[in-house]
Amino acid sequence: MSSETGLITLSGSNRIINHQVNCWTEVYDHRRSLSIKSSSVSVLLILSLIMSQCLPVLLLLALVCLVRPGSAQPVDGQAELKAAQAVLEELQAERRALTQRLNAAETEMKRIKETPKVAFAASLGGNGIVKTTQGNKDLVYRDVLTNVGGAYNAETGVFTAPVRGVYYIRFTANAPTDFTMSAVLYKNNAQIQLIAHEQPSGEGSDTASNGAALLLEQGDTLKMVLWHNTQIWDNSNHHSTFSGFLLFPMVDEAPKEDDFDSQLKTLQASLTQLQTENLGKTQRQAGTSDWCLCLVILNTFNYCASCCVASSADDDDEEFVSVFVEVKERLEATEKELKQIRDVPKVAFAVSLGGNGLQKTTTGSKTLVYKDVLTNIGQAYNSDTGVFTAPVRGVYYIRFTANAPTDFTMSAVLYKNNAQIQLIAHEQPSGEGSDTASNGAALLLEQGDTLKMSLWHNTQIWDNSNHHSTFSGFLLFPM
């Protein structure tokens, strides 16, 4: 029985060990064709590498060395060197590709981490009318519902953009209809951006909203102003609100000079290393052969390149392997972190009461169940109960609209966890006709928090298949 057959018998059905032993045997045959000194160094190198991997392979290699003492056929050393150098060049190309992927991944991670999370929602609060008959007046929304990023100042009523970007801003105003109502959005104390303004219309109350996506420079300010000879109303139920969030930053940074220099130096170092190897074949043949042989072996078995650092490679080779391993580890860690960020659930819903007519209650409050589902990505809204459940902790933008005839009080009230009133659309009767009111805000919800809409006692709401009265929301960002 030949030595190879004996080894197969010893290893049983383990095909991986058989493959490794056969390859190591071939390597040993090649190295026998070189000088005794070179062979000794190679054998020691191979033994040290295998010892760091697994003892069974070491024992099998020992058997190979014992049972194959015969002479081998001469091998062209230059051909072997060229083949090994080709493997080295391939690894260098792989390192450059990994470096490019790493640079891209780290750049994206840096952008994500440096993009601030910004969202705020505030209500005027208080308990009654805010009115001015002597010039304009800044509105200070002191009842803060959300202030992620701390960009809203509850003492001054001013929102300051922390970065250049596009922000979605929305506000709602409520007031009795016996006097002119206003709520005006100013940018940098001067430019009028948006307005909600209604003339008197007799008895009752009314609600008006406005909003837009605005491009703001870093440091730009927004505030709400009550115009001369107008009024606005609120209480602890949050009728009149001011809210906004960062949609995305608009920071167009030019590539840094340092990044180009770093990549250029890396490329030049690789080219210099290749030129040195090609020009110094004779002087470095023994050392390079040992090193390249190690690379060929590692390439064959897909062993970790760091195992070779302790071999007969010179300082340049050790540096190459060290950089290769470092790049690979950093890339794996960065891409893993990016994957976790990208795996955030996508959550968005939009629903309508539907039906064909009025919903009214005169015997207590009633949960509104919006059965006509327009969107339900993430399935966080339950159309059987009318309840939205937050799947993760984060900031959600929630908005609702209510429509009803104006001959009876209208309401639509947002509750959190069946208790806390978050927002309300509520209007007193004002005669014949119909009216629409809406409200919304960016809300910080814990995982498992619930939101639902309620119809208050002695109020009404109306809808049909055209979706007048709606309830919707989406996850802005997780926390």
- For residue 252, the SS3 value is coil
Asked whether residue 446 falls in the same domain as residue 409, the answer is: yes
Asked whether residue 382 falls in the same domain as residue 426, the answer is: yes
* Backbone CA torsion sign across 417, 353, 423, 190: positive
> Is 331 within 8 Å of 102 (Cβ atoms)?
yes
Residue 80 within a domain:
no
Domain residues for the domain of 231 are 119-249
Instruction: Dig out the tokens for 233 from the structure.
Output: 């109303």
Asked whether residue 141 falls in the same domain as residue 238, the answer is: yes
Answer whether 0.75 is exceeded by the pTM.
Answer: no
Q: Which CA distances in Å does 286 have to 255, 290, 385? A: 44, 6, 78
50-74: buried (b, 16+ CB within 10 Å) or exposed (e) per residue?
beeeeeebbebbeebeeeeeeeeee
Provide DSSP, 198-239. E---SSSEEEEEEEEEEEE-TT-EEEEEEPTTEEEEE-TT--
Residue 321 within a domain:
yes
- Average pLDDT score over residue span 214-228: 96
Strands 459-463 and 357-361: antiparallel
pLDDT at 239: 95
Domain boundary among 294, 315, 343: 343
pLDDT at 351: 96
pLDDT at 270: 54
Whole-angstrom distance, CA of residue 285 vs CA of residue 289: 6
Q: Which CA distances in Å does 56 have to 9, 14, 21? A: 14, 11, 10
Q: Which CA distances in Å does 276 have to 85, 271, 286? A: 12, 9, 15
As a whole number of Å, the CA-based R_g of the chain is: 36
Residue 130 within a domain:
yes
Q: Cβ contacts of residue 103 below 8 Å, gap of 6+?
A: 259, 263
Residue 170 within a domain:
yes
**pLDDT tens for residues 314-341?**
555 566 667 667 777 777 787 777 777 6
The answer to whether residue 202 scores a pLDDT higher than 60 is yes
pLDDT band at 312 (very low <50, low <70, confident <90, very high): very low
Asked whether residue 213 falls in the same domain as residue 261, the answer is: no
Helix count and strand count (H, E) for the chain: 8, 26
Distance from CA of residue 116 to its chain's centroid? 12
Whole-angstrom distance, CA of residue 289 vs CA of residue 280: 12
Residues in the chain: 479
pLDDT band at 429 (very low <50, low <70, confident <90, very high): very high
Q: Which CA distances in Å does 35 have to 63, 79, 313? A: 22, 16, 18
pLDDT band at 305 (very low <50, low <70, confident <90, very high): very low
> Is 203 within 8 Å of 433 (Cβ atoms)?
no
The answer to whether residue 228 scores a pLDDT higher than 90 is yes
**pLDDT tens for residues 137-177?**
999 999 999 999 999 999 999 999 999 999 999 999 999 99
CA-closest candidate to residue 38, choices 66, 12, 75, 7: 75
Asked whether residue 225 falls in the same domain as residue 259, the answer is: no
- For residue 479, the SS3 value is coil
Domain boundary among 200, 230, 249: 249
Instruction: Dig out the tokens for 176 from the structure.
Output: 């009795």
> Is 33 within 8 Å of 78 (Cβ atoms)?
no
**pLDDT tens for residues 349-383?**
999 999 888 999 998 999 999 999 999 999 999 99
Residue 223 within a domain:
yes
Angle 195-179-122 from CA coordinates, rounded to 5° = 45
Q: Which amino acid is at 190?
A: A
Give me the phi and psi of 122, to 5 degrees please: -145, 155
Instruction: Dig out the tokens for 40 from the structure.
Output: 């000794």
What domain count does the chain have?
A: 4
The secondary structure element, H or E, covering residue 174 is strand 165-176
Asked whether residue 357 falls in the same domain as residue 469, the answer is: yes
Asked whether residue 364 falls in the same domain as residue 463, the answer is: yes
Asked whether residue 222 falls in the same domain as residue 274, the answer is: no
Asked whether residue 104 falls in the same domain as residue 140, the answer is: no
Asked whether residue 153 falls in the same domain as residue 213, the answer is: yes
CA-closest candidate to residue 174, choices 240, 253, 110: 240
Residue 81 within a domain:
no
Instruction: Dig out the tokens for 159 from the structure.
Output: 């929102």
Domain boundary among 295, 311, 343: 343
The DSSP bridge partners found for residue 32 are none
Strands 434-445 and 372-377: unpaired
Asked whether residue 230 falls in the same domain as residue 265, the answer is: no
> Is 474 within 8 Å of 408 (Cβ atoms)?
no
CA-closest candidate to residue 386, choices 456, 450, 433: 450
Provide DSSP, 389-437. E-SSSEEEEEEEEEEEETTS-EEEEEEETTTEEEEEEEE---SSSEEEE
Whole-angstrom distance, CA of residue 222 vs CA of residue 219: 10
Mean pLDDT of the chain: 77
Residue 123 within a domain:
yes
Domain CATH for 407? 2.60.120.40
The answer to whether residue 417 scores a pLDDT higher than 80 is yes
Provide DSSP, 298-332. HHHHT--GGGGTTSS--HHHHHHHHHHHHHHHHHH
Asked whether residue 369 falls in the same domain as residue 453, the answer is: yes
Residue 444 within a domain:
yes
Whole-angstrom distance, CA of residue 146 vs CA of residue 445: 10
Percent of the chain with pLDDT over 70: 69
Give me the phi and psi of 157, to 5 degrees please: 80, 15
